[in-house]
Amino acid sequence: MIGTEAQRVEKAAAAKIEVRPRSLSTARRINVVIKTTIAILASIFAIYPVIWIISTALNPSNSLINSTFIPRNASLENFQRLTNDPQHPFLLWIWNSIKVSGITAIIIVALTALAAYSFSRFRYRGRRTGLLTILLIQLFPNTLAIVALFLLLQQIGQIPGMSWLGLNTHGGLILIYTGGALGFNTWLMKGFFDSIPKELDEAARIDGASYFQTFWRVILPLARPILAVMGILTFIGTYADFLIARVMLKGTENYTLMVGLALFIQGRSQGWGVFAAAALVGALPIVVIFLVLQKQLIGGLSAGAVKG
Amino acid sequence: MHPRQSETRSQRSSNDSKQGGARVRPAFSLRDIIQRIAGLGFIDAIALWAILSLVGDGQVAVAIAVGVVTLFINYIFLNDRLYPIRWLTPGLILMLLMVVYPLIFTVYIALTNYSDGHLLTKEQVVTQLRERTYLPQDAVAYKWTAYRNPAGQFRVILQDEQGNRFLVREGGGELEPYAGTSDLPANLDNFQRIERLNALQYLGQLGRIAITDGDNTVRISSLDSAPQTRRVYSFDPSTDRLTDNQTGVVYTPIRGTFTAPDGKTLSPGFSTVVGFENYTRVLTDPNIRTPFFGVFAWTIIFAFMSVMLTFVVGLGLAIVLNDKDLPLRPLFRSLMIIPYTIPFVISTLIWTGLLNPAYGQFNTMLNDLIGFSPPWFSDGTWAKAGILFVNTWLGFPYMMLLCLGALQAIPTDMYEAANIDGASPWTQFRSLTLPLLLVSIAPLLIGSFAFNFNNFGLIELFNRGGPPIAGVATPAGQTDILISYTYRLAFSGGQGADYGLASAISLFIFLIVAGMTAFNFRFTGQLEEVM
Tell me whether residues A45 and B393 touch, CB distance under 8 A.
yes
Most confident range (mean pLDDT) of A54-68, B152-166, B411-425 is B411-425
What is the distance between the alpha carbons of residues A116 and A196, in angstroms, rounded to a whole number?
Answer: 12
pLDDT at B12 over 70: no
Tell me whether residues B341 and A286 touch, CB distance under 8 A.
yes
- pLDDT band at B528, cuts 50/70/90? low
Q: Taking residues A86-100, what's their average pLDDT?
A: 90
pLDDT at B15 over 60: no
Q: Taking residues B122-144, what's their average pLDDT?
A: 79
For B202, residues 6+ apart whose C-beta sits below 8 A from its C-beta are B146, B148, B154, B194
Residue B207: per-residue pLDDT: 75
Chain A residues closer than 8 Å to B507 by CB: 144
Q: What is the pTM of this model?
A: 0.78
What is the distance between the alpha carbons of residues A223 and A113, in angstroms, rounded to a whole number?
Answer: 9
For B472, residues 6+ apart whose C-beta sits below 8 A from its C-beta are B287, B290, B291
SS3 B212: strand
Chain B residues closer than 8 Å to A135 by CB: 527
Residue B187: per-residue pLDDT: 77
Give the residue on B whose Cα is nearest the Cα of A141.
B510
Residue B476: per-residue pLDDT: 83
- Worst-scoring range by mean pLDDT, B53-67, B212-226, B333-347? B212-226
Give the residue on A whose Cα is nearest the Cα of B489.
A147
B-facing residues of A in 12-71 (CB < 8 A) are: 20, 24, 28, 31-32, 35-36, 38-40, 42-43, 45-47, 49-50, 52-53, 56, 63-65, 67
Residue A308: per-residue pLDDT: 27
Instruction: Kindly report, residue by residue over B314-330, the tens digit of the pLDDT.
Output: 999 999 999 888 899 88
For A271, residues 6+ apart whose C-beta sits below 8 A from its C-beta are A62, A63, A81, A264, A265
Residue B173: per-residue pLDDT: 64
Q: Taking residues B169-185, what's their average pLDDT?
A: 71
pLDDT at A60 over 50: yes
- Worst-scoring range by mean pLDDT, A141-155, B69-83, B353-367, B465-479? B465-479
Tell me, yes or no, if A214 comes closer than 8 A to chain B by beta carbon: no
Tell me, yes or no, if A205 comes closer than 8 A to chain B by beta carbon: yes
Q: Taking residues B163-182, what's their average pLDDT?
A: 73
Exposed (0-12), middle (13-18) or buried (19+): which is B3, by Cβ within 10 Å?
Answer: exposed
pLDDT at B331 over 60: yes
Tell me whether residues A52 and B85 touch, CB distance under 8 A.
no
Chain A residues closer than 8 Å to B454 by CB: 141, 143-144
Residue B423: per-residue pLDDT: 85
Residue B264: per-residue pLDDT: 79
- Tell me what percent of the residues of chain A surpass a pLDDT of 90: 27
Q: Taking residues A25-54, what's their average pLDDT?
A: 91
pLDDT at B239 over 50: yes
B-facing residues of A in 228-257 (CB < 8 A) are: 236, 239-240, 242-243, 246-247
Tell me whether residues A42 and B317 touch, CB distance under 8 A.
yes
- pLDDT band at A68, cuts 50/70/90? low
Q: Taking residues A22-32, what's their average pLDDT?
A: 79
Considering CB atoms only, which of B92, B100, B440 is closest to A306? B440
Residue A107: per-residue pLDDT: 95
Amino acid at site B223: L
Question: What are the residue ranges of helices labelled H in B155-285?
Answer: 196-199, 203-207, 277-284
Higher pLDDT, B235 or B302: B302
SS3 B168: strand
In degrees, rounded to 5, the angle at the alpha carbon of residue B39 between the alpha carbons of residues B35 and B67 is: 150
Residue B161: per-residue pLDDT: 78
Interface test with A, best of B49, B121, B322, B335 (most A CBs within 10 A): B335
How large is the ipTM? 0.83
What is the distance between the alpha carbons of residues A297 and A237, in angstroms, rounded to a whole number?
Answer: 12
Tell me, yes or no, if A103 comes closer than 8 A to chain B by beta carbon: no
Q: Are B106 and B112 in contact (CB under 8 A)?
A: no
One DSSP character per residue, A241-308 reads --HHHHHH--SGGG--HHHHHHHHHSTT---HHHHHHHHHHHHHHHHHHHHHTHHHHHHHHHIIIII-
Residue B181: per-residue pLDDT: 63
User: Minimal CA–CA distance to A277: which of A48, A47, A46, A84?
Assistant: A84
Residue B2: per-residue pLDDT: 39
Instruction: Kindly report, residue by residue over A95-139, the tens digit of the pLDDT.
Output: 999 999 999 999 999 999 999 999 999 888 888 888 888 877 777
The phi, psi pair for B311, rounded to 5°, reads -65, -45
CA distance to partner chain B, nearest, from residue A302 (Å): 7
- Tell me what percent of the residues of chain B surpass a pLDDT of 70: 90
For B279, residues 6+ apart whose C-beta sits below 8 A from its C-beta are B110, B504
Start-to-end C-alpha separation, chain B: 22
pLDDT at A254 over 80: yes
CA distance to partner chain B, nearest, from residue A155 (Å): 8
Instruction: Kindly report, residue by residue over B395-407, the tens digit of the pLDDT.
Output: 999 999 889 888 8
Beta bridge partners of B265: B259
User: Minimal CA–CA distance to B54: which of A154, A160, A152, A150?
Assistant: A160
- pLDDT band at A36, cuts 50/70/90? very high
Higher pLDDT, B232 or A247: A247
Can you point out the beta strands (E) in B380-430?
none
pLDDT at A37 over 50: yes
Residue B393: per-residue pLDDT: 96
Beta bridge partners of B477: B468
Q: Are A64 and B360 in contact (CB under 8 A)?
A: yes
Instruction: Kindly report, residue by residue over B350-397, the tens digit of the pLDDT.
Output: 999 899 888 888 888 888 888 888 899 888 899 999 999 999 999 999
Higher pLDDT, B8 or A215: A215
DSSP, res B85: H
Instruction: Tell me how far the alpha carbon of residue B516 is from its chain's centroid.
Output: 23
Interface test with B, best of A123, A129, A137 (most B CBs within 10 A): A123
Which strand (E) or helix (H) includes residue B405?
helix B380-409
pLDDT at B205 over 90: no
Considering CB atoms only, which of B94, B343, B361 is closest to A286? B343
The average confidence (pLDDT) of chain B is 81
Instruction: Kindly report, residue by residue over A166-175, the tens digit of the pLDDT.
Output: 889 999 999 9
Residue A285: per-residue pLDDT: 86
Instruction: Kindly report, residue by residue over B252-295, the tens digit of the pLDDT.
Output: 888 778 888 887 777 778 888 888 888 888 888 887 888 888 89
